[in-house]
Every structure is written in C-alpha cells, then in structure tokens.
Structure 1
Amino acid sequence: MTATVPLGPEAATSRHALRRLVRPLSIRGTRQLPAAGAASTRPLRTRWALVPGDALAALVVSAVTLSTGPTLLTATTDAWLLLAAVTVTWLALLGATGAFEARRTTSATGDLRRIARAGVGLAAATPVIVTTSGQPLEPWRVLVAAASVSALAVGLRRAGTALRPPDPVRVVVSGPRPAVDLLLRELATDRRPAFEVVGIHEPATGRELPTTAQRLGAEAVIVLPTERDDPAALRRLGWQLERAGTQVLIATGLLDVASHRTRLEYAGALPLLRVRHPDATGVRRRAKAVADRVAAAVALVVLAPLLLAISVAVRVESKGPAFFRQTRVGRDGVPFTMLKFRTMGLDAECRREELTAREAVEGVLFKMRCDPRVTRVGAVLRRYSLDELPQLVNVLRGQMSLVGPRPPLPSEVERYAPDVHRRLAVKPGLTGLWQVSGRSDLSWEESVRLDLRYVDNWSLGSDLRIVWRTVGAVLGHRGAY
C-alpha cells in the first residue's frame, strides 16, 4: 500500500504535523500546483544572466593583463581579435565545466571547483591563442589573467545569489515515516532552503512514485532507502523518473559530515562513499596551535589598555578580584583553570544552588536570562563578550584554542552521555559554532550537536569563517546574557 500526502490545499490527515515540521521551509499551502508533466518546465534563469558579466570581465582583464603595447583606444585589429578570442574561450570553458547550469541545490564549493577548472583551462589555452596571433607574452601575464578572471567569475555568482536567491527545487520525499520526519527537520534548519517539499510518499513497492512526482509537479525526488530496496529497484526507479525529466537524489544515511571528508569510490560497479577521519594530529593541527598562540600574544599586547580599564571598572563597582578563576575540562578530559573577568558578586557560587532549584534547567547547563547575581559592569561585559578576553591567556598557555567547543565544567562532564565526550577530543575555544549560532539561546541538544559537528569536520577554513562570524555575533548580542 502506498500513502501520498500532498502539501497543497487538499492536504490529507497528517497536515497539522507536517505543517509544524516544514513551516520554516516557507511551504506555501495555497500555491496552485502545476499540471502533470510540468515538473521540468520552470526556466533556469539564474545562471545565463551572468554571461554578459563574464564576457565583460574577461574582456577587461585580458585588456589589462595581456596588453603589452597600445591601449584599448589605439589597439590594433590583431589586439582586438586576441582579446575577443580569449573572451570566447573563457565563456566556452565556463559552459563546458557547467558553470552556467542553474544547480539550485549545489553548494558554493561546487561553483568554485567548476570555475577553478575553467581557470586552469584558460591558463593552458591563452598561450596557444597568443602564439597563433604572433604577439610576444610573458608567462606571468597568463597566470594573472586566469586568476583574475576566475576571481571575478566567483564574485559575480556570489553577488547574483545574494541579490536573487535561486528558487528552491520542488521535491517529493519518499521513504519510511521516521526517516522522512528527520529529513524535514533538517530541511527546516536551512536559512535558504534548497528544497520545497510538495509531497510525501510512503511506499511499499515504489511503483507509484513517478506518477506521484509528476502529478505534484515535482522537479526531483528524494529517496530514503529502506531495507527492502535493492540496486535493481533503484535503477528501475531512475528509468521511470527519467521519462518525466525528474531528478533523483538518494540519501546516504550520514548526518553532520562535511563534503571535504567524503569521496566517491567504487567496488566494481557499486558506488561507495568514503568518509575520511578528522585530522586530529596532523600538520594542520600543529599549524593551528602555533597560530593560536601567536594570535593570542599579539591580541594581549594590543588589548592591554582595554584589559586594564576593565579590571579597574570591575573592582570599583564591587569588592573582590577583577578576574574569576574556574576549573574547566580541556582536551582529553584534562582540567585547567580558566580566566574570565568577574561579572557577578562574590556570593555568586553560594546562590547558584538556590537559583538552580528555582529555575528549570535543560540538559546539563545552567543559564539564566536575567541572572540577579550579575553586576551592572558585568552585564555590559557579557553583552559585548568582553568578559571572555582573559581567556587569551589560556590560549597562550596552550590550554585553549581561539576556536573550539565551549569549555565545560567538571560537573557537566560527569553528566555527559557517552557520545557527548567526543567534545573533549579537541581543545575548547574562545569562540566556536556555539557562539556564532546563538550561544545561550541554544538548547542543550543544539549546543552539543554544533560542537560535535565542529570536532568531526574541523578545517582551517572553518576556523577562519567562525572567527569572521564571531564579529557579527558579538555586535548583534545574540544569546549574550
């Protein structure tokens, strides 16, 4: 038996549960579904509009980097022909690598790879074009031209996506209900959804899926395999969907695995997805440790006047030390003393038990939005995350990193579930995914998942992106209390 739940005005009995799950996806329940056979008729308009910009960029870059004689106003016919040949070659290479295809579900990394391949092709083709034209050219000009035009192509696509985000792909999700619910929850976390779910298919045989996708006007089908599926059945499904022009996406069952850790391999004709282990002790980790200490040392010197002023302000408002020292758990469960500016009164720890009994505590964390123990100066420091600055000393000592999971208390670690101990595989951080994603506004489960995702998918590039996003998180004060 096959159950199909369309997400239109005629939605069936599960409408309330589905609406609760997929509301963040901007599913428009009143939208008129296209007629049967219209799944692939929506124009792919977002990419071809970039052709004039790519052509102009190639023409200007070629004129600046490849010209060795007259300017454009006094250029000879041969010079103009050279520039035109380079421009046409660049457009042809972009088309050959698929840079003009409107892949609404493709990540920015895919765009970078395609443009990079086109740039390498341009660097190889330009000397041939120049030699044919009979004009001398230094090799460095070719490399500069290829790199510059590739960078402009990337910028054009980023700007185009920001100004006019591509429409989400209309999909039907097929699979057992628990797996479907998990997929819907994951889709709901996307800030710019790549998919618009128009129907849910719970198959017993899968034979009606192509008809369902066509009737609902789906452009693609997401298949969540069951134990009853076999390669032959999936292949037949692909043949059936091919007739209607509907794409097939097959879930792997993996969660929170970054693309740079995966690679497609084959056992005969059977595709296998290799998942690489995180780089826990390699050269990049050692480079990160050195960079952490150097950056912390420089920051402490530059911020010394600010640190002194904050110390004075803390001590003037309330008696006691300017710094708060607390035992936290670092990498591999090794405890260390973490430094912060004191933001509470001296009786804060004594009052914690009273407040814990009064407040509802989620998971193992205790956090109050309006904590009566926080001083006026402390509230300002917390709002702008200035109370965290002394942790630069911990980074300099090698106990912490600039980017990493939140440093936990020993009492929290004692209550960890087995999987949560994975957070301790790396050094805790001054900032991290938890901070740029909401900090104290996150639930315990969300915080843990972000930390585990960081540990498993770490890269130097991800650290740089988190540092950049931290600036916006601090200025926006989100979750800072």
Structure 2
Amino acid sequence: MGEVTASLQRPVTNTGRSKLVRHVDSFEIQPPTPPSPSGVPRSAWARARRRVSRWHRPYTAVLLLLDFAAAAFASFTAIHTFDQARAGFHDADDDPTWFFIVAFALLPLGWVISLWFNGAYDRRYLGLGPDEYKRVIRSGVAVAATVSFLAFATKTDLSRYTVGTALLGALLLILLGRILTRFVLHVIRRNVGQAGHRMVLVGTLPECLEVYRSVTRSPAAGLVPVAIHITDGYAAARGIQTPIPIYAGRDVLALVREVGGDTIAVCGSASAEPGELRRLAWQLEGSGVDLVVAPQLTDIAGPRVHIRPIEGLPLLHVEEPTLSGPALLAKNLLDRVAAGVGLLCLIPLFVVIGLAIKVSDRGPVFFRQPRVGHEGRTFRVWKFRTMYVDAEDRLASLVDRNETDGMLFKMKQDPRVFSVGRFLRASSLDELPQLINVFKGEMSLVGPRPLPADDGDFLGDVRRRLLVRPGMTGLWQVSGRSDLSWDEAVRLDLYYVDNWSLTYDLSILWRTVGVVLARKGAY
C-alpha cells in the first residue's frame, strides 16, 4: 500500500497509474492548469482516437464477421430446406449466379448495414443492457420491410417460406452470436480485468464513493474507477479510507491522462455551478475522453427517466412506478399459465423428490410456513421439507451462530438440514412447490422474496416491498442470494418494486437459470 505524501501530485509509474491511496491525511492543492479553449477546431472527418478504451474495435470487428456469417448461413439453411427456393425468382433458373449473389452476399451485407445504422455496433450499447438486442430486432424489422418493398417494386415473385425462414433464422442467429460474445466479454472483464472503461470520478467525496460502490458491484459492466477528483475541499477527505487515489485542485483532463483514464464521471452535485459542466464538455472536445453524468437519482431504472428540454434547460422527468394497468394484468396471466403448465410437467419430479425426503427423514414431504404477501396479506408458502422435523425446536440453540444479518437465519452448515435436503437447497429444487402459490395468485414468478410473517411489522422502507406480490425468484436471488447483506437485499428488492417490467422479469428469469446451475449463494 503506497504511503501518502504531502502533495496531490503523484509520481507516474511506467504504466501511467498512480499509487493506491488508503488514508488521506494532508494535501497541497496545486494551481489548476488553464483550461483549453471552448471548443477544438478540427476537421469534420477527423476524430480523436480513444485513449485507453480500445476493446470495442476488435469486439466490433468480431461482431461484423459473426453477423455477416449468421445471415449467410441462414440463407444457406433456408435454400436447402425448401426445394422451391429459387422458384419464381427472376432468371434464377437461367442464371443462378445472380440469385446466389443476392442470397449469400447482398442480403447479409444488407443486414450489416441495417445493424450499423440502427446503432447495433455503437460501443455505448455493447456488452450491457437490453438496448443492443432491441437494436438488433429493430434492424431485423427494417431488413424485412426493405426486402418486401424491393420485391413489390421490382415485381419479383419470391418464395415466402424461404425468405421468411432466411430472415427469421438470421435474426435468431445474430441474437445468439451477440449473447455468446457478450458472455465472453463479461468473462474477460471479471477474470482478467480488461476490456473496460477507466473512470475518473469528479464530485464531493461521499458522492464519488457512492458511485464507486455502484459501478463496482457489477464487474461485467466494465466500469473501473481509477481516481477521484474531489470538489468539496481537501479537508473533507482527511483521514478517510479510500479504495482509489484522491486528488484535488487539478486540471481534470490532465489528471485523466496521468492515470491512464478514458472516461470522466461527474457525480451528483459536482456540476451545481451553472455552465461548469458545459465548459468541461468543451474542454474534452477532440480529446477522445468520454463524459458521463451520474445524477442524484439512485435506484431508478433508465426507462423511467426522460429528458425534457425547456429553453435549453434539460429537465430529467421521473415517471411513477408501474404498479397497475395492462402490464400488471399481463404479468398475472403469465404467472398463472406458466405455473399451471409447470406443475403438470413436474409431477414426476415431485414424486421422486417426495420419496427421497421420506427415505431421509420420517415426516411430511412439504414444509409450509406463514409469509407476508401482497399488501400485507399473510399466506402459507409451499416448499419441500429440507430439515428434520424438530428443526424449529433446535433453532434457539443455534441463534448465536447466525451467519447473516436482518430478518432471516442462515448457516452454511446448518446441522438441522438432512443430506437430501442439502442437495435440494443447493439445486433450489426445494422452491419448486411455490408454483402452487403462484397458481393461486399468492406469489409471482418474479418479485421480492417472501419474508416470515412473525418477523416484525415491515416498517419504513421495507414495507414498500409489499406493493407487489413476492416471487419465486427475483433481483436478490440473481445477485448473490444468501451471500448478500440484509441492507443490500432490501435495496435490490425495492429497486425491483420501483422499476419492474415484463422485459425485466424475463431477464431475471433468464439469469436465474445461470445462478441455479452455479449454485451461487444457495445454502
């Protein structure tokens, strides 16, 4: 751990990184470097090269090749699936060369062009969030519309089945390729620490630390804070432990170059002075450094935030959470149908698990416990029994060995769990009977976790969880489960309540599969 010197100017190492600072005890503010002019004269065709964040160039090149290959392979598959693939195509029988050029060159090229113009290769949307997939789907609609228009305009008689199969197959293959490349990117970011954005946080120390904690919760996002530039005076940071170096009184752009950054994140009220943020944006023109703003709107999802400019003033309008309406009715219908189908399909598995429980320990197959549900109504949750029948009587002797905080009792090696029950917990199979609660409307497939009915009155922020039905899985389950603290679990549950959507539910269900297979936080 590096020692703190009396000056904020750190010696630059060969890698361009400053030494890590843990305790801030004294500062010597350096005179700020004169800012660069307001705007940088440059050619309309010249663009500054990215300083450090160059991962997107090879990543985009791989996507281009995969997308073109996916579209060509989809055409090949469609042509060989239908015998009348070329029937009716203009001069296809006389000169099939033109047909193959269209199918294996022009159509895949059209896909790539459509993806490009719809922003599917924009580095802002690559590797994180649903926007990349939305733009791929939008590109597929554009390609289908263009093919239909050209066929109509040229009076070309195409095989509908062949064209439809080629377009739908290309869309599915391109989405699959995006999922796989994103998975590889996330693995590199988590395990290697590369292919990310090196950020310099600018603002007051509490705001910068809050942004630091938020962006480092998800290494897959690729946002790596490397330095903090405080704006509230060096005295505010005296003696405080910080995970990255702290600077003050420096020219921000010079600091970015010194620490090898490529992104400046303005945190909270750092830009409270009128025109300050605009001047910073001017200073960064032509530098190849990104500028992002982290406003004081925590735990609010992007779809709820809209920019409404009024006389040059960009106002952030925050929509109310969707707690009623057609979307909620669709969610309820999806829950009931999925639960009914799931129960019918899982009957054989239920029988096998029931027999295994009976062999392991004499007693009931199911465990039913009162839980608090929607709007505070109490219901009895269904689960496969994983503990011995005297587990509740033995709880008092184990309270001091609780390994988690908050309302729940958790132990990684709970002696009350029998062998089959330990397997059911690790594989999350003990949760499957909750499909009965979902079918009855007491729970949902996705939602906050249901808490025991005898653990308090759910006062304060925790009570807001009761605005939606509890779920079999949720944001807490896919983010760490029992490995998370109580405060973090509550924060995730409240985030879901305020920002849920059908798309978000499907995303959580998809992530649940990976978490269950990895057995992360299950005990």
Give TM-score scaled by structure 1 length.
0.81
Aligned partner of 2:408 among 365, 383, 404: 365
Aligned mates of 1:234, 1:395 — CA distance in 2? 49
Does the Cα contact within 8 Å between 2:372 and 2:378 map onto a contact in 1? yes
Q: Which of the numbers 48, 56, 59 marks the counterpart of 1:46?
A: 59
8 Å CA contact 2:17–2:259 kept in 1: the answer is no
Aligned positions, number? 461
Identity %: 38
Mapped to 1, the partners of 2:11 and 2:207 lie a distance apart of 17
Partner of 1:464: 506
Which residue identity is paired with 1:199?
A
Counterpart of 1:421 in structure 2 is 463
Are the aligned partners of 1:321 and 1:342 in contact in 2 as well (CA < 8 Å)?
yes
- Cα distance in 1 for residues equivalent to 2:173 and 2:295: 35
Choose 92-101 or 395-404, whichever is displaced more: 92-101
Matched, 1:191 2:191: no
Between the aligned partners of 1:192 and 1:294, the Cα distance in structure 2 is 34
Letter of the 1:188 counterpart: T
**Paired residue for 1:28?**
none
| Aligned position for 1:322 | 365
Of 376-385 and 393-402, more deviation after overlay is shown by 376-385
Question: What is the one-letter code of the residue matched to 1:297?
Answer: G
Task: State the one-letter code of the partner of 2:118.
Answer: T
User: What letter matches 2:60 in structure 1?
Assistant: R
SS of residue in 2 equivalent to 1:427:
coil
Partner of 2:206: 178
Residues 420 and 448, structure 1, Cα contact 8 Å, conserved in 2: yes
8 Å Cα contact 2:271/2:277 also seen in 1: no
Residue 355 of structure 1: aligned partner: 398
CA deviation map 1:229-254 (0-9, x unaligned): 23411111100111423221111222
- What residue in structure 1 maps to residue 139 of structure 2? 118
- 2:254: which partner in 1? 211
Shift of 1:289: 1.9
What residue ranges of structure 2 are gaps of 5+ in the alignment? Answer: 1-6, 25-47, 80-84, 189-193, 233-247
2:22 corresponds to which of 2, 16, 34? 16
Identify the match of residue 285 of structure 1 among 307, 323, 328: 328
Residues 184-218 of structure 1: CA deviation (Å, up to 9, x unaligned): 11222113242233322113698711222233332
Q: After superposition, what is the alpha-carbon deviation per residue over 1:254-308, rounded to whole angstroms, capped at 9, x for unaligned? A: 2232233333322232222333323222222222223322333333333334434
Structure 1 position 107 matched with structure 2 position 128? yes
Bigger CA drift: 286-295 or 315-324?
A: 315-324
- Of 332, 335, 339, 2:375 maps to 332
CA shift for structure 1 position 12? 6.9
- Compare 209-218 and 108-117 and name the one that shifted more: 108-117
The change in CA–CA distance for 1:49 and 1:336 in structure 2 (over 3 A counts) is closer
Separation of aligned partners in 2, 1:115 and 1:6: 46
Q: Distance in 2 between matches of 1:361 and 1:56?
A: 50
C-alpha separation in 2, matches of 1:346 and 1:261: 47
Structure 1 residue corresponding to 2:488, chosen from 426, 430, 446: 446
Contact 2:140–2:171 (Cα < 8 Å) also in 1? yes
Q: Which amino acid aligns with 1:48?
A: A
Task: Give the 3 Å change call, closer, same or farther, for CA 313–52 of structure 1 in structure 2.
Answer: closer
Which sits farther off after the overlay, 338-347 or 397-406? 338-347
In structure 2, distance between residues paired with 1:218 and 1:464 = 35
- The residue aligned with 2:113 is 92
TM-score by length of 2: 0.76
> Which blocks of at least 5 consecutive residues in structure 1 are unaligned?
19-36
Structure 1 residues 90, 360: CA separation in 2 closer, same or farther (over 3 Å shift)?
closer
Indicate how the Cα distance of structure 1 residues 391 and 236 shifts in structure 2: closer, same or farther if over 3 A, else same.
same
Measure, in 2, the Cα distance between the counterparts of 1:323 and 1:195: 45
